Structure 1
Amino acid sequence: MPGGYMWHARTTETDNSAGTEAGSVATPPHPRAKARWYPAVALTVDILGVGLPTALIMGVERQPYAYLSALVAALCWVAVRALRRRYARRELGESRGSLPVLHDWLILLGVLAVLRAAADLHHPALLCLAALIPAPVLTLTCSKLTWHHLVAARREAQVVTRVLVLGEPTAAGDVAEHLAGRTEHPYVVVGVVAIGDGPVRTGAPVATRLGVLMPEAADGDTTLVLAAARELEADVVLVAAGPRMAGERLRRLSWGLHDAGTELALAPGLVEFAVKRLETTSAAGMALLRVAPPVRSGVQQVLKSVMDRAGAALGLLALSPFFLAIGAAVRLTSPGPVFYKQVRVGQGRTPFVMWKFRTMYLDADARKAELSQANEHDGLMFKMRRDPRVTRVGRLLRRTSLDELPQLINVFLGSMSLVGPRPPLPDEVARYGDVELRRLAVRPGMTGLWQISGRSDLSWDETVELDLHYVDNWSFTSDVDVMARTFRAVVDGRGAY
């Protein structure tokens, strides 16, 4: 699926004005539905993930009704997941996040607690909790494996939803290009219906064009759009936001498409907005999409501060032996101090001193200028995969991210957070534009979306995009999810140098 597009063998128009040739390339056969084993595997993992540990632990501890308890717990887990539509074909494989599984598991604990009290059972609470802990771990593992399988299938143009984009040339082209830029979603653009003249700058073929004004005939637009949808075998007609397809004209088109059994979707033009910030409402019969402002205060911010301070304090106490061992290794293998202190820029452009274990030789800062031509990063950050300034112990510390542990001091003091954007250097901030400066609206973090998404392997634009997504869509539960995914990123070590 080159560039994220599919071309159909029978294309109705070639948009020469855009410099794009709609080639007659036959689309290989592809299944529309997800693999049949998805729901079967998900159900099996959920049943066994609760039933087996509960039966084993309760049986070994000689608790009454051990096997009946295991059966009830397994059925409750499946019921909770089913009621929350986790087995729906539309949902299976679409998420690898840990928060939905955690939410389901907490509901299961509540349900089983009520049943335990109602049945007047006296199984030890800690024993019951231990028996249920494997369930979310196995379910999340299954979810991630299914997600990876689904993404791989979509890269081969399978298990996709064929989309016909409709809109003014510029808007339609932007939507098509945005969808083509990623492969983790199910939508594949098979063609464009442009409203009016003008180039459509996208690799997808232009199937037909509609007039600028609403046609007098009620089915004027519908006939052309349906013909294009059938010709390209489109599953969905996606309307890009614009004044030429709105109001009564859009209403008539929706009637015609729905009567013909074709799905209609609207792209309002919002990019990188989390779904949880969007709310549908209406006024005077007009549908409205309300965008909630980013969370900057309230209970969630209080919880974040408590988690940061408490987590940093516990981390410093628990990891103190590692601090001593790492400090000794740094001190004995290269001359200089154990810690490296560097001025970084925090929330609101406030400078602070960031702590790290020293991973470079003492003349590292002085040699940065002479190595500037060897910078392997495309943006404002300086990164080298084999930086000669890094010590042998430093390479290991960077690979395992252990050099970042002293930043727990910054988190405890309040200049940093456990989760947030990467803290930039003052010379980087001096070259920031208005877009990049928005990264400084929140406290920088020890980990963040940039770390679990590739770290130094990311381009500058990708790094900024991830940080802005975090800044605009932050929530306390998203921080929990990032921390859960950080462990895997640290173990994997990709992008750390």
Structure 2
Amino acid sequence: MIASDIRISVPFGAGRRKARSTGVGAGSGSWSRDYAHRVAVTDAAVVIVVVPAALLVRFGSDVFEYGAGIWLFAGGLVIAWKCALRTGQSYDRRIFGSGSQEYSRVATACFAVFGLLAIVDLLFQLGVARGFIAFALPVGTLVLLLSRWLWRKWLCRQRKTTGAKMDRVLVVGSETSAMSLVHRLINTPDLGYDVVGISVPSGSTADDASLTIGGNVIPVFGDFGDVAGAVTRASATVVAVTSAEALGHQAMQDLSWDLEGLSVDMVVSPGVIDIAGPRMLVRPVAGLPLLHIDKPQYEGANKARKSLVDWFGAVLLLMLLVPVMIAAAIAVKADSRGPVFYRATRVGLNNNTFRMWKFRSMVVGADRDRAGLADLDEGAGVLFKMREDPRVTRVGRFLRRYSIDELPQLFNVLDGSMSLVGPRPPLPDEVEHYDGRVARRMLVKPGLTGLWQVSGRSDLPWEEAVRLDLSYVENWSIMGDAVILWRTVRAVISKDGAY
């Protein structure tokens, strides 16, 4: 997702030959190689522990009576599992620290190796696959994902606090075309890109000048005629082209050739934002690489799969949270006069209205008092927000701080009007002010949580909240939903933006 990943650039031509004696790019792969080695060692440790544990679960103490054959099988499984992680490109440096693709590749590799195990067991009647699948697959996959998450947190912390583990980016493009990319990279250091300079069109500025983009001063390293030289002077490890049309096809090809011997990655901005990698496909047509962007998939198997996950997830969460919801209902009733639940009209999929369940966190008649508080509005755009809203009850303030007031929305998930993850459910008067772009939020069901929930909640400006919702609508996936649900737990505990 764009909240945690750069989706506006795609690999174009990355040379990975040994760096020349100039030293350019010499540090580009050092941190990533070291990081990948650490992750690989951790993965190996997890697999080596999980596979024998699965044998003990499957056979108990009798496993030691099977002789060397069963241990050879276990060793083969360890090797196959590690090979699946390697061939599944889960150690690709380009996916470290951003987006859900890293987790998706790990999960895919795990299911692939156990699918192969099941086939081998069926063909040769080994009689061990069921025990392994029942224990090793879920436990091993979850522990591998957890270890990746911990390593990723460490990597992002290093990038934010010390500026280490970063790729040095030289942007090639005009100020106008580079503005969005530079601003996004500078404001999200956990992506691992440090903008060190920019090469601009000929004659647009002096060689020793600088450009100010979004309040950030970016040094200028020459023009389009000497990008390779600019890479050397800036000690860049990544070249990001944002003005491919200005360079021309021949110059782009020459540039990719020049960068091959420098061990420098080259990425090209296709000019569209908030579009995830799975929807992008580069197709060579008549010798030209054309970027094909698939339409968002809201129907068919994807819709059915998401609905199934929503229903089972809501049932499971309700079973786990029944004590919390009962305690919240008692507290609401004892704290102030009025009903336990508040049912608000919201707009959902395809602009259809529905009644959304919440624990009442305000005094009765709070809707009627909103007009009198208009001058104290701290929201942005069409939203109404107040940090110290006098209509909120004492219990309601606590419920809102930990998002407990939103738990009854699980009933909306069960009846199909909402999803576990999706855009924020808007009020009807908000939707009336939507333009055609913002209205795309209504192409999917609103969610109990979403990118807006894990990225600041009420502290977000209106424009950023809209961008996050649109990014989710354009790129939603099951793995992306899983990442958002995981991040929601941290957001609720931290209480950031909750009022």
Tell me the TM-score normalized by structure 1. 0.81
Q: Which position in structure 1 is the counterpart of 2:13? A: none
Q: Which position in structure 1 is the counterpart of 2:338? A: 336
Q: How many residues align?
A: 457
Instruction: Answer whether contact 2:90 2:105 (CA < 8 A) is retained.
Output: no
Q: Which position in structure 1 is the counterpart of 2:199? A: 193
- Give the 3 Å change call, closer, same or farther, for CA 375–139 of structure 1 in structure 2: farther
Pairing of 1:378-397 with structure 2 (within 5 A): 378-397=380-399
- 1:57 to partner: Cα distance: 5.7
- 1:362 to partner: Cα distance: 1.3
Gaps in structure 1 of 5+ consecutive residues: 1-28, 211-220
Q: Which position in structure 1 is the counterpart of 2:222? A: 208
Partner Cα separation in structure 2 for residue 110 and residue 170 of structure 1:
49
Partner Cα separation in structure 1 for residue 55 and residue 29 of structure 2:
44
Aligned counterpart for 1:158 among listed residues 154, 164, 168: 164
- Give the 3 Å change call, closer, same or farther, for CA 124–254 of structure 1 in structure 2: closer
Instruction: Answer whether contact 1:339 1:355 (CA < 8 A) is retained.
Output: yes
- 1:260 to partner: Cα distance: 6.3
Aligned residue identity for 1:436: V
- Give the 3 Å change call, closer, same or farther, for CA 374–480 of structure 1 in structure 2: same
Matched residue SS, 1:282: strand
- Give the 3 Å change call, closer, same or farther, for CA 384–101 of structure 1 in structure 2: farther
Pairing of 1:59-208 with structure 2 (within 5 A): 59=56, 61-64=60-63, 65=66, 70-94=74-98, 98-117=103-122, 120-123=125-128, 125=130, 129-155=134-160, 156-198=162-204, 200-202=211-213, 203-208=217-222
C-alpha deviations, 1:243-274, integer Å up to 9, x for none? 32112333344444446665543222221110
- 1:295 to partner: Cα distance: 1.0
Instruction: Answer whether contact 1:401 1:496 (CA < 8 A) is retained.
Output: yes
Partner Cα separation in structure 2 for residue 254 and residue 311 of structure 1:
47
Matched residue SS, 1:103: helix
Instruction: Answer whether contact 2:228 2:255 (CA < 8 A) is retained.
Output: no
Tell me, yes or no, if structure 1 residue 278 matches structure 2 residue 280. Answer: yes
- 1:358 to partner: Cα distance: 0.9
Aligned counterpart for 2:310 among listed residues 299, 305, 308: 308
Instruction: Answer whether contact 1:164 1:190 (CA < 8 A) is retained.
Output: yes
- 1:69 to partner: Cα distance: 5.7
Instruction: Answer whether contact 1:30 1:159 (CA < 8 A) is retained.
Output: no
Q: Which position in structure 1 is the counterpart of 2:468? A: 466
- Give the 3 Å change call, closer, same or farther, for CA 236–51 of structure 1 in structure 2: closer
Q: Which position in structure 2 is the counterpart of 1:52? A: 49
Instruction: Answer whether contact 1:30 1:158 (CA < 8 A) is retained.
Output: no
Pairing of 1:399-418 with structure 2 (within 5 A): 399-418=401-420
Q: Which position in structure 2 is the counterpart of 1:12? A: none
- 1:132 to partner: Cα distance: 4.2
Matched residue SS, 2:247: coil
- Give the 3 Å change call, closer, same or farther, for CA 242–100 of structure 1 in structure 2: closer
Higher mean Cα deviation, 453-462 or 414-423?
453-462
Partner Cα separation in structure 2 for residue 257 and residue 319 of structure 1:
56
Partner Cα separation in structure 1 for residue 44 and residue 221 of structure 2:
48
- 1:432 to partner: Cα distance: 2.8
Partner Cα separation in structure 1 for residue 151 and residue 476 of structure 2:
26
Q: Which position in structure 2 is the counterpart of 1:454? A: 456
Q: Which position in structure 1 is the counterpart of 2:31? A: 34
- Give the 3 Å change call, closer, same or farther, for CA 63–51 of structure 1 in structure 2: farther
Aligned residue identity for 1:305: S
Q: Give the aligned CA root-mean-square deviation in angstroms.
A: 3.2
- Give the 3 Å change call, closer, same or farther, for CA 109–398 of structure 1 in structure 2: farther
Q: Which one has more relative contact order, counting CA pairs under 8 Å at least 6 apart?
A: 2
C-alpha deviations, 1:407-462, integer Å up to 9, x for none? 22322333222221000112322333333222222221112122233322333222
Instruction: Answer whether contact 2:54 2:131 (CA < 8 A) is retained.
Output: no
- Give the 3 Å change call, closer, same or farther, for CA 94–75 of structure 1 in structure 2: farther
Aligned residue identity for 1:81: L
Partner Cα separation in structure 2 for residue 153 and residue 290 of structure 1:
35
- Give the 3 Å change call, closer, same or farther, for CA 197–373 of structure 1 in structure 2: farther
**Higher normalized helix content (fraction of residues):** 2
Matched residue SS, 1:206: strand
Matched residue SS, 1:34: helix
Partner Cα separation in structure 2 for residue 255 and residue 68 of structure 1:
47
Gaps in structure 2 of 5+ consecutive residues: 1-25, 206-210
Identity of aligned residues (%): 37
- 1:117 to partner: Cα distance: 4.2
Instruction: Answer whether contact 1:42 1:139 (CA < 8 A) is retained.
Output: no
Aligned residue identity for 1:405: L
Matched residue SS, 1:290: strand
Matched residue SS, 2:245: coil
Higher mean Cα deviation, 441-450 or 383-392?
383-392
C-alpha deviations, 1:278-312, integer Å up to 9, x for none? 00112222220001011122211122233334544
Instruction: Answer whether contact 1:455 1:495 (CA < 8 A) is retained.
Output: yes
Tell me the TM-score normalized by structure 2. 0.80
- 1:317 to partner: Cα distance: 6.4
Partner Cα separation in structure 2 for residue 67 and residue 297 of structure 1:
46
Q: Which position in structure 1 is the counterpart of 2:354? A: 352
Higher mean Cα deviation, 69-78 or 346-355?
69-78
Aligned residue identity for 1:387: D
Matched residue SS, 1:110: helix
Aligned residue identity for 1:383: K
- Give the 3 Å change call, closer, same or farther, for CA 44–287 of structure 1 in structure 2: closer
Instruction: Answer whether contact 1:153 1:159 (CA < 8 A) is retained.
Output: yes
Partner Cα separation in structure 1 for residue 86 and residue 257 of structure 2:
33
- Give the 3 Å change call, closer, same or farther, for CA 374–136 of structure 1 in structure 2: farther
